[in-house]
Amino acid sequence: MNSATAITRTISIKLLVLIGAATLALVIFSSGDYVAEAKAERIAIFGTAMDAPHDGILLVATRSGVINLTITSDTVINSKKGYITLSQVQSGSQVVGYFYEESDQQIAAKLAFKKRNAKSNQKHLIGVVVEKKGKKLTIQTTDGEEVEVEVSESPTDDPTTEGSLVVSVVEENEDTGALDALGLRTAEETIARLNEAIDHEITLAQAKLLKVRMSETASVHLTRLYATLDEIQAEAEEKIQAAYQQFETNYTTTLDENLISPPLVTISGKVLTKEAGLIVIAKNGNGRRSYVVVSSDVEVELVDGSSGTFLDVLRDGYVEVLALPQTAISSPVAKLIKMIPSPPSPGNSGNSNGNNQTITGTIVLVANGNSNTNPVIVIDNQGGPDGAAEITPDTVITGGDALEPGQEVEVTLGDDGFSADGVEVVSQDDQPTDPIVTPGPPPQYTLIGKVREVSVAGVILDDVFLTIIDTSPTTDPLTVGQEIQFTVEVDEDGRFVIVGID
Amino acid sequence: MNASTHILRVISLRSESSGDETFEVVLRNAGHKVTVLSSTEPAFALLNSSWPDVVLFDPISQFGMSGSIQRIRTGFNGPIIATGRIPDPTISAMLEELGISKFAATTSELLAILKNVPTRVIYHDDDSNDSVGFVATTAKPARSTIQTDRQLELTAADALTLSINTSLEPESPPATQTEAAASTENSGKSLPSLKLPSLGSFRIKLPMKRWHRTALGTAFAAAVVVAVAIPFFGMQPNDEPTENVAKALPVVPQLLLKPIGPLSLDELSGENLPLEISGIKDHAIIEEAAVAFWGDTAPDAFLTVNGEPVHVSEYGAFVIDFPLEDGANFIELLASDFQGRTTRRSFTVVSLQ
């Protein structure tokens, strides 16, 4: 070893030591903060605020009981969109987050608050685009309401046209009330996607299901377009009619390629005129009239579901007609006429006119407070977050003597959103706590597909191997390529065992 | 003197997209004979014509599909081991339901499992001629009768894939005992050694001058400093901000996107649009930065989670990998179809990160 090599090695070693020391220092300095911030065990909290916070204390009713949360300057309050601030918290507000215990206190670490039963500002909107101007779409929803939304995508990426049936996720701007479309999908996109999926390597049963859904979607789109013509302004009618013809042609072609019958439109209304081979229908007895051709082999279904004849279709009766859509040269052709009851008079529907909120669910906890507070019940609300209510001396309890965990109840809240005006015990928990479960028969599945291979041991149906144990298919020999339906069970080894052949 | 060695014949099934060869490398280093197959039909054909001791498969890949597992189980009655980390216990439960009882998340777990797997073929080390004898000590393994009847024919493409995959094996043994016997007959002597040649220690000798070494040392030191500094100072190469969204699943398992029992037409035709969700519960406490959950709805449904559209497979299945904030998380799913049905499901979870 010469001296130069020795020097180089010495320098390298020193360099490595230096780097190691620097790395160690960095690790120590950075982890020091972490160690200093290390806290006691964090405990999640899901509950209902019993009152507005006072003096930094927030009383929260949870399934574990009432918790006195201490809110400090270190408590992180989530102030994102959709949440309420600490100053907005009141009795009934939803409280979610975590805390830790220190010196017999529950110190809130991170919390988020929501109004009780706060409606999400996002919803799905389904309807026909009746007007399109740049990013603004006017959508006629299924209940006839016209809604204006603004799509976030650029107009060139927007797949809609006037006449498109869309489902869109929209967000309501809390300040302006405007609706922003965060995303949308058109019926024609969906039908194209399903059509493409049928060509994938999917099972035969699933392909059949996709075809049915594709046909239904096409029928719904044409029906909605047809119905839109009743509501739309005259100047837009021409565009919608053109869209109707275009979609009808496209869908019929797509379905025909898949050996599916053409889409049917549903036309509902009052029978104004009945002649041989023709009925005239108008929605609610007035407005645009539909001339529907009735062929001799039309099926008729009476109000009670039984079969009838065209003679049973009476003038001034209400019908729902499934018909081949009209084309440029022909009127709709009825395939099925369903007699339906007369629609109810406007104004007698709806039953929710009360202003007080209700909570329906099962009581999971009855927390008896101290002498200064009333008992609180915490309810497992099947349809949403847990609820809680204070039982005051004025609370009217019906259907039972005392409130206990396990009872299904419907609670009507007072104006403050927390105290209960009334509690109706819907049912008692009569179920044994540890019911004896008797094993039922193994579940059976119906598999439809094409036979790929056959042997004495089993059959490969699409890409699933089905084992033959007791049921021999040789009585009616199976052939490769045959479409067939099997009933199978999953045995204890996890195999599909054929128990029936249809 | 002959010493018996516990050498197993292993077939490893994994998709071509999975480039992780860790399990195979470790098994080969342990002396086991590993054949890797990536194409479905050759895999099933080989299982019918060969008698491996163990079958490994990657449940996240195409072999995780329920139909594939059924076929593996039908053609092979030995242990089947699912390798790799399974992201959720529900998937493990589904695999167990399909007959998979052994799981090896790591190579050490796999080696531990293999220690208890009996070999059907014992390789005898023969000190005298330093070769390995290939002696079948057990009869042909018990197999279902399907083996004799179910002969899958390989297409040219499949055969090519099979030959490519097997040719990649270093000194791999014959695929079947029949081939082994034929090979022995043809050569008239025992099979060649199956040991991999050991590589001796080596040094790279380059004509380096002093300044070369200094420059090399400086470059190495600079690389170390940069490597240490990046994680501590949050530096990013090229100063480009990269999105770092927490994920609960490395990849989306096919097992979930092609469910064994998708919703039927009757189930989809009710008053309400079905929206079945697994993998998450309301009021869950999750000590992770993300949660994965999945479910079924109509294949044509428009599904959103907190306003973001979600891909729904042609079977109506979906998988959502949802990043969680530390603290409260409100998750709302909305599914709608063009018939006008909308179903809403919401979950409130707390993430303790």
CA distance A86 to A58: 10
Residues of chain A positioned with their CB less than 8 A from the CB of B285: 44
Calculate what percentage of chain A has a pLDDT beyond 90.
22
When CB atoms are compared, the residue of A194, A209, A463 closest to B67 is A463
CA distance A418 to A92: 5
- The DSSP letter of residue A473 is G
**Secondary-structure percent of chain A, ordered helix, strand, coil, rounded to 5:** 20, 40, 40
Residue type, A287: G
What does the pLDDT average to over B223-251?
64
Confidence of residue B332 (pLDDT cuts 50, 70, 90): very high
Q: At B42, is the secondary structure helix, strand, or coil? A: helix
Flag if A112 and B328 touch (Cβ within 8 Å): yes
Q: Is the pLDDT of residue B124 over 50?
A: no
Kindly report which listed range (A287-301, A441-455, B207-221, B292-306) carries the lowest average pLDDT score: B207-221
What pLDDT does residue A228 have?
85
- pLDDT for A28-81, tens place per residue? 555 444 443 445 688 999 999 988 888 899 999 998 888 999 999 999 998 887
What pLDDT does residue B203 have?
53
Flag if B307 and A171 touch (Cβ within 8 Å): yes
Among chain A residues, CA nearest to B286: A44
Interface subset of A 131-170, CB within 8 angstroms of B:
142, 165, 167, 169
Continuous segment of H or E residues that includes residue B189: none
What is the complex's ipTM, to 2 decimals?
Answer: 0.70
CA distance A218 to A252: 9
DSSP secondary structure of B226-256: HHHHHHHHT--GGG--------S-SS--HHH
Q: Is the pLDDT of residue B166 over 50?
A: no
> Token pair 């996109």 is at which residue?
A189
Kindly report which listed range (A492-501, B264-273, B279-288) carries the lowest average pLDDT score: A492-501
- pLDDT for B49-108, tens place per residue? 666 788 888 777 666 666 677 777 766 778 888 888 776 777 777 777 777 778 888 888
What does the pLDDT average to over B30-47?
72
Calculate what percentage of chain B has a pLDDT beyond 70.
58
pTM above 0.95, yes or no: no
Flag if A457 and B217 touch (Cβ within 8 Å): no
Confidence of residue B215 (pLDDT cuts 50, 70, 90): confident
What does the pLDDT average to over B121-128?
43
What pLDDT does residue A321 have?
92
What pLDDT does residue A283 have?
76
When CB atoms are compared, the residue of B144, B225, B336 closest to A167 is B336
Instruction: Please check whether residue B225 touches A, CB under 8 A.
Output: yes
Residues of chain B positioned with their CB less than 8 A from the CB of A19: 221, 224-225, 228
Q: Is the pLDDT of residue B136 over 70?
A: no
Residues of chain A positioned with their CB less than 8 A from the CB of B68: 463
Instruction: Please check whether residue A115 touches B, CB under 8 A.
Output: no
Q: Is the pLDDT of residue B246 over 60?
A: yes
Residues of chain A positioned with their CB less than 8 A from the CB of B300: 190, 193-194, 210, 213-214, 217
Using a 10 angstrom Cβ sphere, with 0-12 exposed, 13-18 middle and 19 or more buried, the burial of residue A261 is exposed
- pLDDT for B195-211, tens place per residue? 444 444 445 455 566 66
Flag if B150 and A453 touch (Cβ within 8 Å): yes
| C-alpha to C-alpha distances, B76 to A468, A493, B55, B327, nearest whole angstrom | 16, 13, 8, 48
Q: Is the pLDDT of residue A227 over 90?
A: no
| C-alpha to C-alpha distances, A194 to A125, A184, A215, nearest whole angstrom | 21, 17, 10
CA distance A215 to A204: 17
- pLDDT for A105-145, tens place per residue? 999 999 999 887 767 788 999 999 998 888 899 999 988 88
Candidates B154, B291, B314, partner chain A, best to mutate (most A CBs within 10 A): B314
Strands A289-301 and A307-308: antiparallel
